[in-house]
Every structure is written in structure tokens, then in C-alpha cells.
Structure 1
Amino acid sequence: MPLFTPIKTLLTASAVALLLSSPAAAEPDATAHVELRGTGDLGVVIERATGSVALVDTTEKTVLRHIEGFGDLSHASVKFTRDARHAFVFGRDGGLTRLDLLTGEIDGRIIQGGNSIGGAISQDGRFVAVGNYEPGGVKVFDVETMELVIDVPATYEKPDGTTDQAKVVGVVDVPGNIFVFSLFEAGEIWTLDMSTDEPELTKYRDVGSMPYDALITPNGRYYIAGLFGEDGMALLDLWHPENGVQRILPDYGRGEERLPVYKMPHLEGWAMAGDQAFFPAVGRNEVLVANTRDWSLTERIEVHGQPIFVMSRPDEQQVWVTFAHPLNDKVQVIDTRTLEVIETLSPGESILHKEFTPRGEHIWISARDSNQITVYDTRTFEVLATLPAESPSGIFFTHRAHRIGL
């Protein structure tokens, strides 16, 4: 299926104009056609082993093309520009790569650090922020030119008085052109306000031991960082930042033996359903349920293994859960009304990621070691399509462009 390109459109229009203006012109070829395409149906799938990306059509449930040249994608994430025309891919080699979804070509790539795992695009669409493991810190670039706007080192003071650079995790965008992120070794949360010509940095210290990832609630109010070094989470109310960071769910594992942690849970794809929040428990075969009115723990749901991604269907009636190695060949579905597991699926070997279509009628699930993506009907759990991909991992659809923190 051909992709729309502006150049091709101009050439076709010019050719038709010449034919019509020529006295001896024949009738234009009725088969000549350029398919115009919006980006609302599009998405990308990370192909981690080959450093490539699969461009997909979510309505037709097809792979349009495989695009190479993204570097090390062993851990990669994607953010979409405000107009959903471009996808920014963040790679483990420090690469920041811009993909044009309409032409299917890379139209910008820089190596901005030594090891980056994610980032965010500002509310107004002007800036893309990259969180770095090496050398640590956040760099903000102009979305159009990919030129560096500001470099924020994640420098913190150690207990012995010396300074060091911390790994940056959990970079999200919030309303007001603000980026929020966490410092792993430092146990801090910082906000970077890009709304004025002089960016303003605010630091919240002593938020807890080793924040490893973070999420933002869909309305942009609460930034919540998971703590690897202790049970519980750190919450920053961005509507009332003067209250500082508070601890929530501090006792969910107290007095219990924690299992070996095979893979760190991901919080960004968390689940909200009414006044309930669903979290993956660190080192436990449980999904935690909290009351979002006071962030108290209300329920633990026993699941197949250690949960990695806990994601809510857009209508919030279901939560889909994937798991860490060695039990990562299953996906379980929780009914949010009964808090019971209602389905266990086997989409392939080494399940890594999943993504709902914008209204939630379908879900796409990547199976790395099966080299495939499986598309399910979320109502009947019927398999609708099985698509080939090279060691697929992250799946990202363009509707994320219009959601806070995604």
C-alpha cells in the first residue's frame, strides 16, 4: 500500500496539468492514483534486535513497512508530535531519531547522550525532552530543528559530601509546558518549567529510595514515582506543589518476603478505572488496587507472575496485565468491577508490550521470541490478526499525541 508523500503529489498534479493543457493530450491514466493518508490510523512497533521500526495501520491491521537505522533499540520508547506527523524514538545508544509517519522515512537523527530510555514532548509541541542514564540529566531539544535548547545535568550531593550524576527516569509532560522526572540514585523529583524564556528548575529532595519509574494521572495532576529501594510510592500533587512530595502505599509489603525481581515494572502504562488505580507490585505476583481519593491500598489481586505492564482498556472495564520472565508467555485480563481475573491468553513467547486502539475495541500484543504481533478483540478475546515483526517490543499508536504524559 503506497504511502503519501508531498513530492509525489506535486509531480502527479503537474503531470495532469500538462496533459490537460496540451492540444494532443490523451486522457489521463485512470489508474494513476496517489493515496492520501491521515496519521490517526498509524502506529509504530519497535523491532529491538534489528534496530528497526515497523510502521503499522491499526484499522487495516497491517504492517506497511519496516524502517531501519534507529540504532540500539534494546530499550526504546516513542513520543508523537502534536500533529501526529512525526514519531520521536529514544534509543539505548543515546540516539534521538525523528520518523516521518507519512513518508515512512527518518528525517532527523542525533546522538545526544550515552544511554537514554525515554522522554516527553511539551504541551505546546515545541520541545522534546530526553532523560538520560549516561551521563545523567535531561536535554531539551527544539522539535522542528532538533537543536539543543537546554541541558540539565542531574547533579546531586552524596552522603559523603561529594557530587555525582544520577540516572533520570520517568520523564513526563504536564500542562503548562512543564516536564517532570525522577533521579534514581538521588531519590529526588525535579520539575522543569519551559513556559518562559528562562526555564525554571524546582527540586524535591528525599522522596524515597531509588525511584525507578513514574507515571502521571490522565488529568496531569498527580506524578507518582515507584520506589525500588523500599515499599511504597512517592506522590507529587502538581496542583498543589507547595505541599511537597508525600508517600503513598507505604506498607503494602511490610513483613513479607519479597521474590527476586526479574524485571522492573513499568508504571507509565498504568490503569485507572473510576476511583481505582491499578499498580504492578515490585517483586510480587500481585496487582495492587488503590483508592485515588486518599491513595490507600484497598485490594491485592493475585496474578500469574510478577506484573510488568498493567494497562486499562479505554472504557476502564478491563485491566490487561503482562509479566516478567520466566512467566512472560501469558497475558491476563482483570474485570475492574469484580476485581477478578476473567481471561488468560497465550499470544506467544516473551510478551513485552501491548497497546489498545484509541477506543479500546482491539489490543495489539508483541511477542519478541515468536517474532509476531497478535491483535485481539477485547470483547470476545478472538484473535483478529497475527503480524510478522523482528523481535517486536514496544507498540505505540498516534492517539498518544493527544494525551497527557503519553
Structure 2
Amino acid sequence: MIRSIVSSDRLAGAIALVLAATGPVLAEPDAQALFAEHCAACHAENRLGGTGPALIPETLGRMFGPALEKVISDGRPATQMAGFAETLAPEQVAAIARYLETPLAETPRWSVEDANASRDLSADYKAAEAPVFTADPMNITLVVETGDHHVSVLDGDTFEVLDRFATPFAVHGGPKFSPDGRYVFVMSRDGWVQKYDIWSLQVVGQVRAGLNSRNIAMSGDGKWLAVANYLPQTLTILATEDLGVQKIIDVTGSGGVPSRVSAVYQAPPRESFVLALKDLPQVWEVFYGDNPPVQGFAHDYRMEPAIKTTERFPVRKIPVSDIMDDFFFDLSYTNLIGASRDGARGLVLDLDIGKEVAEVDLPGMPHLGSGITWPWNGTTVMATPHLKDPAISVIDMESWKTVKRIETLGPGFFMRSHSNSPYAWADVFFGPNKDKMHIIDKETLEIVKTLDPEPGKTVAHVEFTKDGDEALVSIWEDDGAVIVYDAKTLEEIKRLPMKKPSGKYNVWNKISFEAGTSH
């Protein structure tokens, strides 16, 4: 016993000498605890996404190792992802990165049966035979308030709040209206799709179409809603009438390589949905019409489809030379303008023939989903802000040449206009001048005024009323507001207090495909 104690004392002394010489042995950072403290609020405890995307190998794509650590440390430009370099030590950042690269115990799936089981139709809902309000139903504007997850329903003439309803957590991607403007559908980042009856001012129901979703698109006939999912890597098709899940399409390329769906867009003249893919150099077109073509695109498919199919929602896969995860369409929906978020160029894809026909000079990460068009000098131009560069590109949609790069006070997120307005409005969402709003003359392509509605506060996103007489601007803060401007004199008319208002969506502008707004 005595010999054992002595040996232990000598061993302890030896360990102490080693520690003194080499320094203390640091414990491995508890990555799961660090994630819970710093990341879970946006990305959820289970890593399946909330206001931020899911953080698992299936959705991280090629972002592993040093690239992932850099995002955690420095944040991600043009997103809400902040950097943690001043909060976390390098070894803590590395531990979190390794944790995110670890697969979940089970790869999450979300089947038709899972989705339909989640469907919840309100027992209290009763469809009104006519609007229960006296306001013009075509001039209703919805305001998404992300501060407390609600949507306010505004009378577009008086700006009275007709209703304010709770939404699923973290609405994303913009609401979509039925073609008659009566119903609106909103989607949350965690995959819930909610249906609301504007006439009745009542929620109809909701269904979970995915686990981490990007946006939704309405079919031209109003029968179907497509949901773009990051997780699982699928496209979900819902019936708008009852929110029933009709089909879930796995998004995979050759060899079964999966891809997240960055966005889905409607293309009404084509009776199709068009998908932007995050991880594959392809553009997908999913047809919802009664007799869609799927092969034989040597000529205009609408005139001479070679092969028909009886399959429901068939998919056409178009190879492209670069990954395109953001789109803009010309007014005929023949030409698709796409840009990779990591690229320095735009590509024009002729959807009729399935081939690239032009390149566009679009460096600086253009936000094409916010692009707008207007007639100019005998042609049609499109204008898009850039998420990295302090500029707006104006492109001739016939020659695909840059007409002008308008220098701004910083990178922007949204642009809006109206056919009855001589101006385009552009925010400066990113950087120190986030409290500014540029007013651009659509003829001279010059900034004619810069508004400063609330110094120091984020100012973003514009929507016009049905007639274009007023413009609504968001103070994008928890104690924010929607500011109503006279769209001609640019003078402030009214302020409506709101909880971090983000997007605003006018029924008429959306269902009529007003050129000054995104679709």
C-alpha cells in the first residue's frame, strides 16, 4: 500500500513537470453546445433549418473544411449570416464545422404520406360569397412582418389594416396569389405552406411540404403550387384547392447526384414551373398542363412536340454550362437569364430550343429575382441590383448588352417600379448606407433623388399600389414601419408601425404581372 502511494505521488509529480513544460492540455470544444448557443436560433437545434438553412452534409453542398470555417468566422456576404470571428476562437469554429459535416443518424426524408399527414384545415373557416370588407379587393396589399411572424392585410386606398394573421415561423420567398386574387399562399423556411382567404379574412389551413424550403410558385391556371426544397432535395406539388400533396419529385442529376432547389418560378405561357438548382449545371422545367411535351425540342415545342407523355408533372432537364441559382425571364417567358451566385457573368437560355444563346455582363452577384423591366429608347431593358457591387446593371433585352451601370451608395437587394411611374426605386440594403433609398429616372437612367427615411435604420423593398400613385417602403427593423410615399412628388404621406416589415405584395400588381415588380 505504501509503495503504491509513493508511486502515485511520483507519477503525479512527473505529470506536473510535463504540463509545466508543454502547457495545459486543452479540452476539445463541445461543438454541440457551441452550436446550440450560437447557431440553433437560426438553424434549429436539429440542424434542419429555421430562418437559416439546414446545416447537414446533404445541404452544405461543396462547402466543407476551410470554406465552411471561413463562413462561420467571417459570415456570408449579402445574407443574414453574421461572422463569429470575434466571438469564437479558431478551435471552436473548427469544432462547429466538423460537427456540421457529421451526417445525422438518419437522412431526413419527407414523403407524400408525411406531408399529407401534416395537413391541417381550419374547422372555423367559412368561405364568404363576397369580400367581407368594402375596400377594392384588387388593391389589397399584404405586408410580411418578420419580427413576430404575422402578415398585415392593408386597404390599398386608405392603408387601414383590415386584418393581421399569424403565419408559420420565418416566412420566406414571397406570397403567391391565386389568379383571381382571392387566395394567397405563404411559405416558411421550415416548409410549412399556409393558405389564406382574402375575401373572408380567414386562414384556410396549412401543410408541411418539406423540411427546409426556399420559395413557392403558382401555376398559371391556379390549380397547383410548387414548393422548392433544400431538404429533402425535392420539388413538392400541392393542389391549391385543399393543400393535398400531389407529387414529390426527387431532384437528382446523372449518377443520382442530388441537388438543392434554389428557387421555383412560374412560366404561365409555357404551362410549366422552372427550377433553379443549387448544385447541378441544369435547368429543370416541370410541366403541369394537360398534354405536355417532354422530348423533341429541336423546334418550338409549342408548335411541334415530337413526343407526348401521360405522366403527371413530367420533367425536362436542360444542361447548362454553369450552375444558375437565380433567374429572370423576359416577358414572353422564352428567354431565361441566369447567373451563378459565385460567377461573374450571366447566361441567356432559350427555353424553346434548350440552348444558351448569349452571355450578359453581370459581375457582382446580381439579384435577378428582384429584376424589373421597362420600355426605353425603342427597346425593353431589364435592371437588376447587385448583392456585392454598389451598382445597378441596365441590360438591353434584345442585344443583351449593358446599357449602363448605375453607381449606387452600396450593394442593393430589391428594385421596384410601376408602369405608371417614371421612377424605379432601389434600396442600398448592404453596408453603411442601408438607410438610403435611390430614386432612378427610367428615361435618363440617372439617380434623381436619394431618400433618407429613418437615419441609421435599414430601408428596403418597395411596392406600389394598384394604380402606381403611392409607393410603400419598409423600415426593416423590429420597431419598424411601412412608409407610404406619393410616387410622383416623392413626399411622405403616412407611416404605419410594423414589426420588422419585409416584403409588401399588391394583389393587382402580382396577378397582372406588372412589369415593375418581380414574379
Do Structure 1 and Structure 2 share a fold, with TM-score over 0.5? yes
- Greater strand share, structure number: 1
Higher alpha-carbon deviation: 118-127 or 321-330:
321-330
Partner of 1:298: 403
Is residue 180 from structure 1 mapped to residue 274 from structure 2 by the alignment? yes
* Shift of residue 185, structure 1, vs aligned partner: 1.5
Q: Distance in 1 between matches of 2:229 and 2:399?
A: 33
Q: Secondary structure at the match of 1:175?
A: helix
Is residue 132 from structure 1 mapped to residue 229 from structure 2 by the alignment? yes
Partner of 2:511: 401
Q: Secondary structure at the match of 2:325?
A: strand
Match of 1:335 among 441, 448, 466: 441
Q: Distance in 1 between matches of 2:257 and 2:284?
A: 17
Contact persistence 2:438–2:449 (CA under 8 A): yes
Partner of 1:194: 288
Q: Distance in 1 between matches of 2:204 and 2:136?
A: 18
Q: Structure 1: which amino acid aligns with 2:146?
A: R
- C-alpha spacing 1:272/1:132, structure 2 compared with 1 (3 Å): farther
Question: How do 1:96-111 and structure 2 match up within 5 A?
Answer: 96-111=193-208
* Shift of residue 124, structure 1, vs aligned partner: 1.1
- C-alpha spacing 1:135/1:351, structure 2 compared with 1 (3 Å): farther
Question: How do 1:4-403 and structure 2 match up within 5 A?
Answer: 35-68=133-166, 70-73=167-170, 75-157=172-254, 163-196=257-290, 198=311, 199-209=313-323, 211-238=324-351, 241-250=352-361, 252-253=362-363, 265=367, 267-274=369-376, 275-315=380-420, 317-326=422-431, 327-348=433-454, 349-369=457-477, 370-399=479-508, 400-403=510-513
* Shift of residue 243, structure 1, vs aligned partner: 4.7
Partner of 1:19: none
- C-alpha spacing 1:323/1:337, structure 2 compared with 1 (3 Å): same
- C-alpha spacing 1:76/1:169, structure 2 compared with 1 (3 Å): closer
Q: Distance in 1 between matches of 2:156 and 2:230?
A: 33
Q: Distance in 2 between matches of 1:265 and 1:343?
A: 22
* Shift of residue 150, structure 1, vs aligned partner: 2.0
Contact persistence 2:128–2:199 (CA under 8 A): no
Residues 31-52 of structure 1 deviation map (CA, whole Å, 9 limit, x = unaligned):
xxx7555521212111112111
Q: Secondary structure at the match of 2:326?
A: strand
Partner of 2:94: none
Contact persistence 1:154–1:166 (CA under 8 A): yes
Contact persistence 2:236–2:248 (CA under 8 A): yes
- C-alpha spacing 1:7/1:187, structure 2 compared with 1 (3 Å): closer
- Percent identity, aligned pairs only, is 23
Structure 1, unaligned runs of 5 or more: 11-33
Residues 281-304 of structure 1 deviation map (CA, whole Å, 9 limit, x = unaligned):
342111111111111112111011
Q: Structure 1: which amino acid aligns with 2:390?
A: N
Residues 225-249 of structure 1 deviation map (CA, whole Å, 9 limit, x = unaligned):
22212112232234xx215134421
Q: Secondary structure at the match of 1:307?
A: coil
Q: Distance in 2 between matches of 1:316 and 1:138?
A: 37
Q: Distance in 1 between matches of 2:289 and 2:172?
A: 30
Contact persistence 1:120–1:173 (CA under 8 A): no
- C-alpha spacing 1:386/1:293, structure 2 compared with 1 (3 Å): same
Provide TM-score, normalisation by structure 2: 0.65
Q: Distance in 2 between matches of 1:87 and 1:7?
A: 14
Structure 2, unaligned runs of 5 or more: 1-124, 291-309
- C-alpha spacing 1:311/1:318, structure 2 compared with 1 (3 Å): same
Partner of 1:22: none
Equivalent residues, number? 363
Contact persistence 2:214–2:261 (CA under 8 A): no
Q: Distance in 2 between matches of 1:289 and 1:268?
A: 13
* Shift of residue 156, structure 1, vs aligned partner: 2.4
Q: Structure 2: which amino acid aligns with 1:128?
A: L
* Shift of residue 110, structure 1, vs aligned partner: 0.7
Larger Rg: 2
- Greater helix share, structure number: 2
Q: Distance in 1 between matches of 2:441 and 2:269?
A: 31
Contact persistence 1:193–1:200 (CA under 8 A): yes
